[in-house]
């Protein structure tokens, strides 16, 4: 597969708590790629997705740590 890196390359960054399997991560990346490409009229091959797992103790909601 050839990708033209001179074209617009959207980068979607997802941060989440750990827990997904490798298969689930692959499906999330594929689904987000498909959805963005369709909505933005871009080629799926130009969409970059990163998935970062952040330990629960490093998250807070409403001023309260999750971990």
Determine the Cα–Cα distance for residues 16 and 63; give it in Å rounded to an integer: 18
Which listed residue (10, 18, 55, 65) is catalytic? 10
Cα 59 to Cα 40: distance, rounded to the nearest angstrom: 31
Q: Is 10 annotated as catalytic?
A: yes
Distance, CA of 58 to CA of 66 (rounded, Å) = 8
Catalytic residues: 10
């Amino acid at each position: 597969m050839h990708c033209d890196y001179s074209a617009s390359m959207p980068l979607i960054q997802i941060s989440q708590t750990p827990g997904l399997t490798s298969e689930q991560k692959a499906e999330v990346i594929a689904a987000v790629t498909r959805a963005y490409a369709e909505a933005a009229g871009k080629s799926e091959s130009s969409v970059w997705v990163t998935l970062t797992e952040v330990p629960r103790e490093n998250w807070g909601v409403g001023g309260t740590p999750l971990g």
